[in-house]
Each structure stands twice: as structure tokens, then as C-alpha cells.
Chain A
């Protein structure tokens, strides 16, 4: 891997993150003359004087009583110290604490979904490509057409109603004691597995079909390449051609999708988490939005953006490892 390319990519990512930090600070302030009004929206039964007193104290509490540029500097200083600010919710918890509480639960869902989707998707994709035109392939194509038409929340609701409420195979929604009782014991882990089953399944269905479709198309494309014909002519074993040559060279588009999926790992799935009462990042963001809690929204957005930038950076670097010909921005 070219060292200069890696340094360039890292510097570029830092630059983008800087822009994101700045936008993240200023965008919530657009259209709001006074951030304190976000904390205490106007109330009909309060006089202007009373409202002004409330806002004045709120500004002091949350550091809105200095100029916007000073607030921006304070925000950057806070970020350097790992401080994402203070949430507007009752008890004024630190944004970082709220995120740290929720992130692991989202990771349980997203990592499980990613692994299941990736492994099963690649497997089904390879099978469909190898059995091109036969029922395995047709099934995958039909399934992907149906999946495009079916929104995720619909699948989640159907699974919750049938597998959860009607047949009681899995919990229809998360056990309210799951988080508070979790202690790393085997039974606690089993409880998490039980409760995660339907949300993971809801998300994995789409993920499996997505990866399978991508793999199928990539494998078919590579199968028609000259070097595969050469390998066959050389009399290499079928499995060697399939796994060493075809599959490896089909991985580029898969890595791209994987990179994009990784960036979505920590964001959570708002609707899926909502349907299954899963206490993750998706619902945290929803709570922040519903409560006008924009320090929390800013914290989550910054984390998501940072993680996305990091995921894209890693994807680009892996790209170079897989295909040394890749040199982005190389002027000839």
C-alpha cells in the first residue's frame, strides 16, 4: 500500500470531520434566535418577563450567555476533552453517558445482523451465481424484488405479531428487565439472545438478500472474466477456481457494501428498535428529537458522522489491499 495515499486519505478524513463538527454546531442553531427557547419552548400562561427570566438562567446553565463564536470555541474545547455536552432531559445527564449506556445494545443488534447478513448473504449469493437460471437463482431474484417493495417496519410488525404474539416462539418485544438485570451470566446472555432474535431477524432478512444479490452479480461478472477461463484451461480444481479466484475477485463490491453497513452499525434502526422496545441508539435519537434535546442530537450526529468517516476510510484502505491498482486522486 502506498504510504502517501494512506496519509492523504487520513488527512482528508480529518478535514471532513472538521467540517462535520462545524456544521453539527451551527445547523441546530439555524432558525433559532435563542437556543434557550429550544430548552424552554414558549408557554402561553407565562408573561414575557417570567419567560425572559427563565431563558436568562437557562442560558447561563447551558453556556448560551456568550457569543456564538465563543460557544463554538467552548464546544470544540469540550470535544477535545471528550465532552459532548449536557442533555436537556431531567437530571441533566452527560450526553456521553447516555450514548455509552445505549451503544452496546445497538451493537448487539447491528453486529449480529451484519454477521448473519454477510455470511448467509455471501453463501446464498455464491449458490445463486453457481446455479444461475435455476430455482435457487430465481428464488433469490424474486426475494430481492419482494424485499424492495416491503418496508422494514412492516416485516418487523409481521414478525412481532406472528412469531411473537401469536405463536410465542420469540418475545414479541424486549423484556423490560433485560437491561437492568444484565450481569454477563449465561442466563442473562440467553435472555439477550431471546429478545434480540426478532429484531435481528427483521433486519437480517433485508441484509441477507442485499448481500446475496450483490455477491451473485459480482460472482457472475467475475466468472466471465478471461483469467477464470485461463484457470479452467490450466485444469485447476473447481473449488480452487471458485474460492481462490472467483470469490476473492468478487469481493470488491461486497467490501463497499460492508463499509457502508459498518458506518450504520452504531446508528441503530429507529423503527425496528421502536417496534421491539429495544433501548438502543435509534430510540435515543428519537427521544432527543421528541424532547428538543439538541445537545443530545448533536452528540449522536457527531458520533455517527465520525464513525461513518472512519468506516469509509477503512473501506478505502481495504480496497487498496484487495486491488493495488486503486489510487484515488492520482493525477496522470
Chain B
């Protein structure tokens, strides 16, 4: 029986409905971690890039993608790890950022990724850091960092000194 393979655009549409296992409000395409989708000799090849090298969610993400594609009737699926270029939060879509904010996670502020430099340290220590993370609940810019890391590798812990709520910041990376 001759069957027609689903189009690449259709597959991207399906992937847009696969939630991230740790922040289920955003999808794997919102996060920008699906780098390529193509057919190769009747096998659907999906290239996925890890967010952080040691992110324990990576295997779950692969499994979620594969499960969802099989549920759509795709029999032959192969997942490929794509390391370069490395994932950056610049690839988080505008819709993804809004979903994060609505969920209570401050979205990444582009251009503020760590560069290991001493200038950033000096600025931070003297309180002159230009990084203002707006509170995702009340919108106030009066926030402070509690910890460089949070509940997942991609987040840092902040608190708002106006509404007093703690919140996660999705780090620029």
C-alpha cells in the first residue's frame, strides 16, 4: 500500500505541541531546541540540541518527541543530537517568552549571557550591574538575585522586593 509521508511543515506543527517536560507551558519548538526535521529514506530524522550539557531532561525530551511522532503514525523515527552551534536562549521564540512570563518565569534578557569576564564581576560587586529582571507577577524592576542557579540548570532564583514574591529567571545563555 502506498502511503504519503506527512510534510515537514506538518511535522513541525506536531512538534509545536510537544511540551518541555520540566516547563510544560512551553513546547520544544518554543525553546528552539528542534534544529532540523527531514525525511531520509522514509525515516523521519529530527535533530535536537541540548539546552545544557548535563540537563537531565534531554532524554525525556527525546522520548516525548519520539512518542508524539509515533502517535501521529510515523513509524520510522530517528533522533539526532546536534551540538553545534550550541543552543542559545536567543532561539526561544517570542511566543515562548510570553508563555514563560505568564507562567511566572521571567524570560531571558538577550545579550546578558555570562562571558566569564571580570568586568561583569566588578559591576555586580559594586551594584552597578545593568541586568534588571522584571518581576513576572507585578512587573516591578525592583528585584534581586537570590541564587545563580534555580530548580533547573536553565534558571536562576530571584525575588521581587515590591510584591515580595520569589520567582525563577530563565537565564540568558
Bound pair (A, B): no
Interface residues of A (CB under 8 A from B): none
